[in-house]
Amino acid sequence: MSNAVTVLGLGQMGHALAGAFLRAGHPTTVWNRTAAKADDLVAQGATLAGTPADTAGLVVICVSDHHAVRGILAAMGPLEGRVVVNLTSVTPTHVREFAADVTRRGGAYLDGGILAVPDAVGTAESMLAFSGPRALYDEHEATLATLGAGMHLGEDPGLLATHELATLMLMWSMLNGFLNGAAILGASGVSAAEAVPFARMMIDSVAGWLPGYADQIDQGTYSADHGTIDTQLVSMANVVEESESLGVNTDLSKLVKALAERAVAAGHGGSGYTALVEQFRKS
Ligand SMILES: NC(=O)c1ccc[n+]([C@@H]2O[C@H](COP(=O)([O-])OP(=O)(O)OC[C@H]3O[C@@H](n4cnc5c(N)ncnc54)[C@H](OP(=O)(O)O)[C@@H]3O)[C@@H](O)[C@H]2O)c1
């Protein structure tokens, strides 16, 4: 017999989570601020809750932001014996607030993040990460695995949210680089599709550098084996100059160049690219 679950929040992601639980045979209760978004799930066998307090089993919250999570937790009423898994993207500070609130009210709290798009939830392409009490994760691991492969990062409830912020920065930086590159290529009459093989090659190369670069960052040694910041600065200036002549936005290219110039001013012109981490460490 599959365990009962409740999904609070049926936006794009919450709806996908509830659908995956239903397909796997979990008795699934659903609630959404706009109740109509539950209609098709109810037609598939879900139970509609009238309020966030009408939950059954493991409670999964997936809404737009921390304000919505806070409101839902307040509306859940007594939490004695209830287990709340928050899959909403929030900051580590919010997570610690929610964990303390739920625990103080007699419940148990696990924080999680979904490393997948809604269509992939419940398939082999879906991964989730969690932080909070290990014993709580172990207890509910099998149920949560319905949504995708899971991993537990650590006892600190805020750990997942910290990783999530770092990973999102990486995703946006990669995408911004691709989009900025597409704008440069487009202004030169080259389609974005033609850039894809080069972009994939570069992403694969960078992915291969990461373990060694992470060691350099952790040890504070910035090897110039892959070239110096001085050398890269010449290429950065080329990007800014050509973007200006093409009439393409230079916000990102100027920021990239300015960070490198600051690293050079700090004495790292002859260092490898990882020395830029010192610029990111400053507030
Ligand atoms: N979509 C993705 O690809 C994806 C991938 C990974 C992680 N996530 C994360 O999943 C979370 C949800 O994203 P989503 O794509 O599902 O967003 P979404 O489609 O915009 O849905 C937002 C949900 O939040 C609810 N909501 C907003 N304000 C509320 C409030 N004050 N009280 C109660 N409910 C409220 C909305 O209810 P109404 O329907 O009534 O407006 C809706 O159910 C986010 O943290 C997001 O970062 C999303």
Ligand 1 atom nearest to CA at 115:
6
Pocket test for ligand 1, best of 7, 8, 10, 13 (most atoms within 8 A of CB): 13
CA of 257 to the centre of ligand 1 (A): 36
Ligand 1 atom nearest to CA at 63:
24
DSSP 44-90: TTPEEPSSTT---SEEEE--SSHHHHHHHHHHT---TT-EEEE-S--
Query: How many C-beta atoms lie closer than 10 Å to residue 221's C-beta?
Result: 12
CA of 13 to the centre of ligand 1 (A): 7
Would you give the DSSP letter of residue 32?
-
Q: Are strands 47-48 and 58-61 parallel, antiparallel or unpaired?
A: unpaired
C-alpha–C-alpha distance, residues 223 and 85, integer Å: 42
Residue pair 44/22 in contact by the 8 Å Cβ criterion = yes
CA of 249 to the centre of ligand 1 (A): 31
C-alpha–C-alpha distance, residues 70 and 244, integer Å: 46
pTM assigned to the model:
0.89
Give the 3-state secondary structure of residue 190: coil
Residue with CA nearest ligand 1 atom 48: 13
C-alpha–C-alpha distance, residues 219 and 148, integer Å: 35
Residue pair 64/86 in contact by the 8 Å Cβ criterion = no
Q: Ligand 1 pocket: which residues have CB below 6 Å?
A: 9-14, 32-34, 37, 62-64, 67-68, 71-72, 88-89, 114, 117-118
- The per-residue pLDDT string of the chain (283 residues; one tens digit each, 9 = 90 and over) reads 689 999 999 999 999 999 999 999 999 999 999 999 999 999 999 999 999 999 999 999 999 999 999 999 999 999 999 999 999 999 999 999 999 999 999 999 999 999 999 999 999 999 999 999 999 999 999 999 999 999 999 999 999 999 999 999 999 999 999 999 999 999 999 999 999 999 999 999 999 999 999 999 999 999 999 999 999 999 999 999 999 999 999 999 999 999 999 999 999 999 999 999 999 999 8
C-alpha–C-alpha distance, residues 96 and 17, integer Å: 24
Distance, first Cα to last Cα, the chain: 52
- Output the pLDDT for position 283: 87
Question: Which residues are bridge partners to 131 per DSSP?
Answer: 111, 154
